[in-house]
Amino acid sequence: MGESANPTRKIIALAVAGARAAEPATRDALSAVKLAERVYDTRTRALHDLRISVTDRCNFRCTYCMPKDVFGPGYKFLPHDALLSFEEITRFARISAQLGVEKIRLTGGEPTLRRDLPRLIEMLDALKTPSGHALDLTLTTNGSTLVKQARALKDAGLQRITVSLDSLDDATFKSMNDVDFPVADVLKGIEAAHAVGLAPIKVNMVVKRGVNDQSIVDMAKHFKGTGVVVRYIEFMDVGATNGWRMDDVVPSAEVVRAISTWSPLEAIDAQYEGEVAERWRYKDGGGEIGVISSVTQAFCKTCTRARLSTDGKIFTCLFATDGTDFRQMMRNGASDDDIAALLVGLWQSRTDRYSEIRTAATTLERQARKVEMSYIGG
């Protein structure tokens, strides 16, 4: 039998060494998935979201993400030809959309450092779901370039945006970003995003005990009534370099209690199945906040996210140690069906639930091997 007559063998040959072993779906299984417009993993979680890391570089050195002692001048970032091109990213996103992906988040590293990012947004904005809807397209950024870029991003088709900001106190923020970047410049970036109509705007604050927990209520006060939704994220043990300890985590329940003491909150329903943030509304109508309890209340049961790394590997969990290489496959001339079959097979064999089974032992066991968030995208 020739190679082209055996698609399974061909696909396996195309997946490069080091890729996680996944049986590609057969042609029949692939057709069934395409008809259903959904692919489910072993825990009946549908593939629904794709996070795309467009660069592994960043102009910040947040101590919990890219600590300077690891990501210093000697650190070897990916060379340009290792990065997926915009055409490759768009092709992968288009195939994913045919398999049920409806939401795309661009991230990194710092995604706005990728040259010509608005062109990629334009390309992704042109994609459609099988039922003809546009994809929900968003971006997570540290906000440092928004004054310059917000207009171009919006004009290219970006709908909304998430800006990370860990404190309103300059000394605290600078000590966390570790490059002396001032709070005022991120706030200007948020204003610029608002002015061009990127909405809703969300602000991500990673809370670390003893570092910025004193800023929790200040942040709520600053954004209450503005329409900006602050989301408090529990510090996670992602990657192998951030020296995570459970003692550093401020449980979301504590965050909600602190804000509620200042201005009472009530819980509200998720907007959609699989929403990561738990939503709380000010009882006096001042808007809402969100908490992301990745550590204290794992949400693996509804985790529908795949992550595409800067160099084209798919990771089915933020805490994974290996990814499956699609870049080499694309560069070796694989057809759309070959790529879809491998993605379907990978997703159908997915068992990930790291946060549900996290213990001191699993944390330690994986600590040295987990990939960095700046590479697979937060």
Residues of this chain that bind ligand SAM (CB under 6 A):
58, 64-65, 107-108, 110, 140-142, 164, 204, 206, 233, 235-236, 238, 242, 373-374, 378
352 binds ligand SF4 (CB under 6 A): yes
165 binds ligand SF4 (CB under 6 A): no
Residue 106: which of ligand SAM, ligand SF4, none does it interact with, CB under 5 to 8 A by kind? none
Among 41, 49, 102, 110, contact with ligand SF4 (rule: CB under 6 A): 110
Q: How many amino acids of this chain bind ligand SF4 (CB under 6 A)?
A: 23
Q: Is there a contact between 300 and 239 (Cβ–Cβ < 8 Å)? A: no
370 binds ligand SF4 (CB under 6 A): no
- Enclosing H/E stretch for 163: strand 160-164
* Alpha-carbon distances of 109 from 23, 55, 90, 142, rounded to whole Å: 31, 5, 19, 9
Cα(177)–Cα(372) distance, integer angstroms:
17
The region, left, alpha or beta by phi > 0 then psi within -120 to 50, assigned to residue 263 is: beta
Instruction: Return the amino acid letter for 215.
Output: S
Q: Judged by CB under 6 A, which stretch of 2-10, 29-37, 105-113, 207-215 contacts ligand SF4?
A: 105-113
Q: Where are the beta strands (DSSP E) in 57-129?
A: 103-107
Least distance (Å) between residue 235 CB and ligand SF4: 11
CA 173 to chain centre: 22
Q: Considering Cα of 319, then 291, then 221, then 141, what sign does the dihedral take? A: positive
Q: Judged by CB under 6 A, which stretch of 108-116, 120-128, 187-195, 338-346 contacts ligand SF4?
A: 108-116
Tokens in use for 8? 């399974």
Among 30, 66, 198, 265, contact with ligand SF4 (rule: CB under 6 A): 66
Residue nearest to ligand SAM (CB): 378
Nearer to ligand SAM, 140 or 167 (CB): 140
Nearer to ligand SAM, 164 or 293 (CB): 164
Among 29, 286, 299, 349, contact with ligand SF4 (rule: CB under 6 A): 299
Residue 233: which of ligand SAM, ligand SF4, none does it interact with, CB under 5 to 8 A by kind? ligand SAM
Instruction: Return the amino acid letter for 70.
Output: V
Q: Judged by CB under 6 A, which stretch of 88-96, 112-120, 186-194, 297-305 contacts ligand SF4?
A: 297-305
Give helix 117-125 / helix 146-156 axis angle, nearest 10°: 30
Name 203's bridge partners.
163, 230
Cα(289)–Cα(282) distance, integer angstroms:
8
Q: 140 exposed, middle or buried (CB, 10 Å; 0-12, 13-18, 19+)?
A: buried
3-state SS, residue 278: strand
Among 54, 62, 97, 183, contact with ligand SF4 (rule: CB under 6 A): 62
Q: Is there a contact between 344 and 35 (Cβ–Cβ < 8 Å)? A: no
Nearer to ligand SF4, 12 or 246 (CB): 246
Least distance (Å) between residue 275 CB and ligand SF4: 12
Q: Judged by CB under 6 A, which stretch of 91-99, 129-137, 265-273, 346-354 contacts ligand SF4?
A: 346-354
Name 249's bridge partners.
208
Binding site for ligand SF4 (CB under 6 A): 58, 60-62, 65-66, 108-110, 142, 164, 298-300, 303, 317-319, 352-355, 374
